[in-house]
Amino acid sequence: MPDLVELLENAEVFGEFTIAQKQRLASMAFRRVMKRDETLYYQGDLWSKILFIARGKLQSVIQSFEGKSYVVFTWEQWDEFWPHSLFDGEPMPSTLGAVQESVIYQWEGEDALRILFENSDAVRALLRRQIKMIRKRRETIAELAFQPVTGRLAKLLLEQVPASENSAQRDLTLDQLASMVASSPEVICRTLYTLQRSGLLQVTRASITLCDRPALERLAGAE
């Protein structure tokens, strides 16, 4: 099993640290195993810890006053998480939790920042990463504003199945699918039924099978 210094080579920002800086960072790390559906912090909390995901998957979810939820971002293996609160002292805009058993490492934000500021390449990597995320958010907002639910759902399902495969294990419930495309479980259920009846895919409790990937890609690319 690789040690943390080796694992950090895979990180976008931490990967720019020198070996000595990675070793200092590793010495300060707190390892945590999160159970599925365990919450790390809630929307509105002040959270200033930096995370590195060694294994598993986490999701940032926004909750509305009406009780609706939307998945803002999914964090996967080798991803880093640099929280808003660390930079502006304001509450976190979303809730972060594990969607499967996950192994994470966390640091007090100020401790990690002190090392970061010693390395101009790492600072540039962090800025590049943050800009990339802003661009991704812009794409998501455009999809929600201009793309119908069918197109958003088609894109999500395509992302669940590797391009080299026709099927994959299903690990998302109707509620989770709905929250990830800003819709309701009822609408998602009807849309899945329509796509299946049209011969584009087959969805069971255990798997997702894409019967006509090109057609789904056209739906996902619809404006």
Quick one: 138 and 157 in the same domain? no
- The pLDDT score that the predictor gives to residue 2 is 67
Mean pLDDT confidence for 70-98: 94
Residues 6+ apart with CB under 8 A from 161: 167, 168, 208, 210
In the prediction, which pLDDT does 1 show? 44
Residues 109 and 11 in one domain: yes
pLDDT in tens, 23-59: 999 999 999 999 999 999 999 999 999 999 999 999 9
* pLDDT average, residue stretch 68-81: 90
Nearest-5° angle of CA 127, CA 61, CA 70? 110
Compute, in degrees rounded to 10, the torsion defined by CA atoms 148, 154, 157, 161: -150
CATH number where 191 lies: 1.10.10.10
Q: Is residue 111 located within the same domain as residue 188?
A: no
- Single out the residue in 145, 166, 187 at which a domain terminates: 145
Residue 48 · residue 110 · CB < 8 Å? yes
Question: What pLDDT score was predicted for residue 147?
Answer: 75
Statement to judge: residues 86 and 189 lie in one domain: no
Reported confidence tier of residue 11, pLDDT bands at 50, 70, 90: very high
% of the chain beyond a pLDDT of 70:
95
One-letter amino acid identity for 9?
A: E
Q: Against a cut of 0.75, is the pTM above it? A: no
In the predicted model, is pLDDT for residue 127 greater than 80?
A: yes
Which of these ranges, 8-17, 94-103, 140-149, has the smallest mean pLDDT? 140-149
Cα gap 35→32, rounded to integer Å: 10
Q: Are residues 76 and 120 in the same domain?
A: yes
41 and 109 part of one domain? yes
Count CB atoms within 10 A of the CB of residue 145. 7
Q: What is the pLDDT of residues 173-199, one digit of tens each?
A: 888 888 888 888 888 998 998 898 888
Q: Across the chain, which distance is largest between two alpha carbons, in Å?
A: 58
* Statement to judge: residues 82 and 135 lie in one domain: yes
Q: Are 46 and 152 in the same domain?
A: no
From 100, 129, 145, give the residue that closes a domain.
Answer: 145
Same domain, 84 and 106: yes
Number of domains, the chain: 2
Domain region containing 163: 148-220
Confidence check: pLDDT of 223 > 50: no
| Domain boundary, last residue among 127, 145, 163 | 145
